[in-house]
Amino acid sequence: MRTRTPIALSAVTSLAVLAACAGMSSGAGSGRHVTQGLATVVSENLYTGCREQLPNLRKTPLGRITAFDGTVITVPAETAIGSAPQAAPLYSDCEQVRPARLADVSVDAVPVVEVDRDGDVVSGFVVADNYFELYVNGKLVAVDPVPYTPFNSAIVRFRVKRPYTIAVKLVDWEEKLGLGMEWFPPNQNWYVGDGGFIARFSDGTVTDRSWRAQTYYIAPLTNPDDVVERGDVRDTTALGRTHPLAKPPTCEARCYAVHWDIPRGWQAPGFDDRRWPQAYEYTDAEIGISPALISYSRFPEAFTGARWIWSSNLVYDNVVLVRKRVQ
Ligand SMILES: [Ca+2]
Ligand SMILES: [Ca+2]
Ligand SMILES: [Ca+2]
């Protein structure tokens, strides 16, 4: 019977650890799920559609991991890949669509997704680092045809009546599933990837700080308490918000991640996003745009007036929802 005492004590200690890991000890906002380490691979590669053997083509893996509270989480994100219409390419090496200039692009040939039968046709140019799903008034218009790399740009078209709501799920994809890290040439095996999203629509709508943005997956973290919650603000800015200012953690496969459930109906026009933070704007330099990134830099006039956006941390926030009400 004596031997039971240490077991009981250790159970209490474990519960205390669980409570701390769930953020309860710091009085953090409710609903966070904490994980540690690598996820189990569910799919080695969600994207097999690339038509060329490109040097910068990565596999697009998907994983599952169980949080300390028992919640099973898909990483980097649940997506509609494979079950939703794909956006048309503006520029895409994998799809072998490489226009020399915007004037060579036939936007009118892109199919129109009907949201409102008596609406006007709106077209948009879109780039995501790495993946987007774009909804209009709750209807899934298109998903990014190339979920990870190489970097592509896309065209979406829809018919809609004002006012309307654009809602986009954004994923900074990863290879170290559950940890927000990836290989970075030539020799960084635990590199912390970053995100970014820019779009310009034919009705004048552009991405900028007037959009709302909320993060649902933050990693890699040395300590889950590095995420400071104040209401709906999920703040990791002390870790650095952009490369090269963000200080990479050294925990590698022992790092933590913090997740929140994606709210039901987040794509709908009536969803209340007023407590979400405003989107942060990022410069081309912060995003890491080089002239070599021609899917974006070849078409500056396609993105005139638009800003790269993300939540407050371009590096550590890996699944971000953004919304814009167009009046
Ligand atoms: Ca992409
Ligand atoms: Ca990241
Ligand atoms: Ca990325």
Mean pLDDT of 121-126: 98
In the prediction, which pLDDT does 130 show? Answer: 97
Q: Relative to the alpha carbon of 57, which ligand is closest?
A: 1
Q: Relative to the alpha carbon of 76, which ligand is closest?
A: 2
pLDDT tens digit string along 253-295?
999 999 999 999 999 999 999 999 999 999 999 999 887 789 9
Distance 90 CA to ligand 3 centre (A): 19
Q: What are the helix (H) ranges across the chain? A: 4-21, 284-287, 294-297
Q: Relative to the alpha carbon of 191, which ligand is closest?
A: 2
Judged by DSSP in three states, 174 sits in coil
- φ/ψ of 108, rounded to 5, equals -65, -20
Distance 237 CA to ligand 2 centre (A): 13
- Is residue 2 over pLDDT 50? no
Q: With contact defined as beta carbons under 8 Å apart, do 168 and 152 qualify? A: no
- Is residue 14 over pLDDT 50? no
Tell me the pLDDT band of 30, cut-offs 50, 70 and 90.
low
Distance 152 CA to ligand 1 centre (A): 5
In the prediction, which pLDDT does 178 show? Answer: 98
Q: With contact defined as beta carbons under 8 Å apart, do 247 and 222 qualify? A: no
Q: What average pLDDT does the structure give for the chain? A: 92
Q: With contact defined as beta carbons under 8 Å apart, do 182 and 86 qualify? A: no
In the prediction, which pLDDT does 16 show? Answer: 39
Distance 20 CA to ligand 1 centre (A): 36
Q: What does the H/E/C string look like for the chain?
A: CCCHHHHHHHHHHHHHHHHHHCCCCCCCCCCEEEEECCCEEEECCCCCCCCCCCCCCCCCCEEEEECCCCCEEEECCCCCCCCCCECEEEEECCCCECCCCHHHCCHHHCCCEECCCCCEEEEEEEEECCEEEEEECCEEEEECCCCCCCCCEEEEEEEECCCEEEEEEEECCCCECCCCEEEECCCEEEEECCCCEEEEECCCCECCCCCEEEEEEEEEECCHHHCEEECCEEECHHHCCCCCCCCCCCCHHHCEEEEECCCCCCCCCCCCCCCCCECEEECHHHHCCCCCCHHHHCCHHHHCCCCEEECCCCCCEEEEEEEEEEC
Q: Relative to the alpha carbon of 81, which ligand is closest?
A: 1
User: In the structure encoding, which two tokens stand for residue 114, read together?
Assistant: 């009907």
Q: Relative to the alpha carbon of 192, which ligand is closest?
A: 2
Q: Relative to the alpha carbon of 127, which ligand is closest?
A: 1
Mean pLDDT of 33-44: 98
Pairing of β 120-128 and β 233-235? unpaired
In the prediction, which pLDDT does 290 show? Answer: 83
DSSP bridge partners of 89: 154
Distance 215 CA to ligand 2 centre (A): 11
User: In the structure encoding, which two tokens stand for residue 279, read together?
Assistant: 């989107």
Q: Relative to the alpha carbon of 315, which ligand is closest?
A: 2
pLDDT tens digit string along 46-61?
999 999 999 999 999 9
Domain positions in the chain are 31-326
Instruction: Determine the distance from the C-alpha atom of residue 318 to the mean position of all C-alpha atoms in its chain, rounded to a whole number.
Output: 5
Distance 127 CA to ligand 1 centre (A): 7
- Please give the Cα distance from 185 to 297 (Å, whole number): 22
User: In the structure encoding, which two tokens stand for residue 126, read together?
Assistant: 């879109």
Tell me the pLDDT band of 94, cut-offs 50, 70 and 90.
very high
In the prediction, which pLDDT does 293 show? Answer: 87
Distance 64 CA to ligand 3 centre (A): 19
Mean pLDDT of 170-188: 96
- The more confidently predicted of residues 183 and 2 is 183
pLDDT tens digit string along 285-325?
999 988 778 999 999 999 999 999 999 999 999 999 999 99
Q: Relative to the alpha carbon of 218, which ligand is closest?
A: 2
Is the pTM of the predicted complex or chain greater than 0.85? yes
- The more confidently predicted of residues 14 and 250 is 250
Mean pLDDT of 152-171: 98
pLDDT tens digit string along 196-229?
999 999 999 999 999 999 999 999 999 999 999 9
Question: Which residues are placed with Cβ below 5 angstroms of ligand 3, an ion?
Answer: 129-130, 172, 193
